[in-house]
Structure 1
């Protein structure tokens, strides 16, 4: 039955090789030292239907884009994240695995000469324009540009916070992405509850697909404070489902990692302090539901 689940999922979520390799590094490789043998990259991608040719092309492009760097050890090639990519991955990991931060807001003031270059990265991080010189966004993303003028604030009062959010953020698009995630993965919970048994390899495949799909939704979401969101917000249900499934799949998935994936002369560890921190954080998210 596990074998049937994965093809059905793949029918719903066609994969791009580069994006899936990014998911592999973020979920499996980076929290275990950051280095992986090319043969394991090829084999893991083959599990979800991505050919070796596509994998090698994608790795070359990720190297050219400054996200991966290659290392030779004997006749084997290994790849790790560059320092710049690691910073991005750490930020993404906080979004996926950490509980939602306290509701705080940032106001960013831009001088006329800053508007062109500073605005696009802020908008990608969930900020919206309030006027020609002001942007507003949740405080979980602090601008890296030291030349920006940034004010932090809490909400002193505001019965119309939901109106503010609906007017400035595309909540319908965020909700649609979470709804698609829920539709794709709720059936896996039902199958596990009914006694579905998975091999270690299948557990890793499903966990990677889970992370890949949830990352697609969560990293596009502005992650606004709960009081600004509509009742029965699908993002909260998606987060709980992600936490629950990740925890249920991880024992077998981690066992596969520790028995099959090479970092050099040694296998990747099944668990590290960082992976244990992730699962502890997800357990709090699941248990707070």
Structure 2
């Protein structure tokens, strides 16, 4: 992957100069490349991929050890080579994250309210937010787990109260907006690069796609996905989503060709494409066309 590293000094690739945190980036790599292709990767391939992003072998091995200790990865030794896959517990989390990235649900139109005395004793999980000692509120997304107590649906009546101010204070929307803005700043040049005359090499395309996923995943997972009426008028989530979808689709053909030659499992090179990667790409293309 030295070719990719050598091209990071100019143009769009300059945005990749800042190295990501090793554990979080390894999680991104498994979610985007490894898990949909069978889930097991040789440590040497992992080290080579991370080196392009400024993460040396020592950092990678330490991060992998910590992920194993945290129950996120499992190691298998075959001969002299070590391979790692996601643990069963981590796979469920990855499926939910993949759904948010590749097939996100429509924005909710109303809210959930929960009235319960048990809220006085425990902090509700995100995106639930406590409004008073025994009242919590959450966007009515289909993946929001209900709390124990009296559960109700609620709809904001326009003109009654400042919903924007409530949402901004309760869910810290300024921090979410900043994550989206940073994503847009780092990756806004990708579309011009993809439309340019000089094609991206497969190694560079994969590196760019991994950082695209890494940064967008960070922003999207911090987003409580509130009803649009609760968000500021200049809410950057829509622009970030459009950039992610267009850039991911544009980078995928060369990126996946590189995966099919350079990423090794116990059975040989990972598949460049399979049913799961084609499904993800189909969903994004369909979204881009709407």
Residue in structure 2 matched with residue 173 of structure 1 by the alignment? 175
1:155 correspondence with 2:161: no
Large movers: runs of 4+ above 4 Å: 114-118
Matches of residues 49-88 of structure 1 in structure 2 within 5 Å? 49-88=54-93
Residue in structure 2 matched with residue 131 of structure 1 by the alignment? 132
Q: State how far apart, in whole Å, the 2-side matches of 1:152 and 1:27 are.
A: 37
Residue in structure 2 matched with residue 253 of structure 1 by the alignment? 255
Q: Is residue 34–residue 81 contact of structure 1 (8 Å, CA) maintained in 2?
A: yes
| Change in 2 beyond 3 A, CA 1:152/1:37 | farther
1:111 correspondence with 2:112: no
**What secondary structure, in the 3-state scheme, does the structure 1 residue paired with 2:223 have?**
coil
What is the aligned length?
280
Residue in structure 2 matched with residue 35 of structure 1 by the alignment? 40
| Change in 2 beyond 3 A, CA 1:139/1:270 | farther
How far did 1:30 drift?
A: 0.9
**CA deviation string 1:38-66 (max 9, x = no partner):** 11111110111210111111100100011
Q: Is residue 113–residue 154 contact of structure 2 (8 Å, CA) maintained in 1?
A: no
Q: TM-score, normalised by structure 2?
A: 0.88
Give structure 2 stretches of 5+ with no counterpart: 1-5
Q: State how far apart, in whole Å, the 2-side matches of 1:71 and 1:273 are.
A: 25
How far did 1:150 drift?
A: 6.6
Q: TM-score, normalised by structure 1?
A: 0.88
Residue in structure 2 matched with residue 271 of structure 1 by the alignment? 273
Q: Is residue 69–residue 81 contact of structure 1 (8 Å, CA) maintained in 2?
A: yes
Q: How large is the Cα RMSD of the aligned pairs?
A: 2.3
Residue in structure 2 matched with residue 44 of structure 1 by the alignment? 49
Q: State how far apart, in whole Å, the 2-side matches of 1:225 and 1:246 are.
A: 26
Q: Is residue 12–residue 190 contact of structure 2 (8 Å, CA) maintained in 1?
A: no
**What secondary structure, in the 3-state scheme, does the structure 1 residue paired with 2:264 have?**
coil
